Amino acid sequence: MAKQSHKDKLFENVFQATRETVEVLREHFLIDITSKVFGDANDGYNEKSKEFFRASHAWVELNELYEYAINGEIAGSQYDTENYSDRSFIVTNGEAIVEFLTSNQSQLSQEWQDLFWMADGRFGLDGGEDISLTKLALLGKVDLRTVRNAVSAGQLVTVTKDKMFEHDTAFVENASARRWLLGRKGFKPTPLINTERELIGEVSTPTGFATFLVSQRQQIETDLTADDIAKRTVNHPSVDQAAISELESGVFALHLETVFPIADFYQVSRKDMLNCVMRVFFSEEYKMLTAPSNSI
């Protein structure tokens, strides 16, 4: 017998929890939806029932939650995942199903709650938000103590916030978290979608920034030889190939003095690049600079 994958084990857990929930509805509410959820289950809950359930909308939602949380995968989603805000449906709809199936009657695995926290943390990071220590540990596939040790060692920059519905009050700053995760073998960054890239003046998230830079570089290099591409560098000692890789992963951990050479490298207006970097990575400072003087 082939070894069950991690997702297959979680499917079995959801299948069993759904069975128990359907049984409660039938026994105590006299509502029988067995055939709608599992097909013809007169012969018991078998592989045929599982295949029927696997095609259900509920499992499609949970499968998308799993893929986004673990692999950052959004391609093929039923939602318009090129629009960052629409990705929230992957998180919220998955959470709703997890909460519904979690009761005294149906014991849904804690792993599903962890998957929700991972997806929610990833969504926040992709949008430029800071992340709780707990969610960062889950995304990095390490225990919480490892993250706290990284904070103590100065590898992660923290900020203190009051966050409703979350136990953590210490949060890791977005760029610091993204940079740290790139060094974790267990973490898979959210793939970039280049089909309809934003103009630089429309970029509003770290993921959008990364997508723009990658697309811009590829466009520049289209007609260049391999030798010419290898010779291209940013005219600043702080911006080496590793720094470029971080920039194209949505991480800006450089001094502002590097922005103009970076703009030159990607052949965009220096002013537009500075506005974009400030807007995405220094949002509070940007709001103050662009606010009317009488409102500060």
What range does the domain containing 78 cover? Answer: 1-105
Distance between CA atoms of residues 35 and 49, nearest Å? 9
Q: Assign 170 a pLDDT band (cuts: 50, 70, 90).
A: confident
CB 244 within 8 A of CB 253: no
Task: Let me know if residue 150 belongs to a domain.
Answer: no
pLDDT of residue 74: 74
pLDDT of residue 132: 94
> Structural domain tally of the chain?
2
Residues 6+ apart with CB under 8 A from 268: 200, 216
Distance between CA atoms of residues 168 and 119, nearest Å? 17
In whole angstroms, how far apart are CA 95 and each of 19, 69, 88, 121, 219?
19, 12, 11, 13, 39
CB 128 within 8 A of CB 283: yes
pLDDT of residue 51: 93
Q: pTM for the complete prediction?
A: 0.80
CB 296 within 8 A of CB 288: yes
pLDDT of residue 42: 65
Distance between CA atoms of residues 11 and 23, nearest Å? 18
Percent of the chain with pLDDT over 70: 87
CATH number of the domain residue 253 falls in: 1.10.260
pLDDT at 2 over 70: no
Task: Let me know if residue 221 belongs to a domain.
Answer: yes
Domain end, chosen from 89, 105, 121, is at 105
Task: Let me know if residue 260 belongs to a domain.
Answer: yes
pLDDT at 290 over 70: yes
Task: Let me know if residue 178 belongs to a domain.
Answer: no
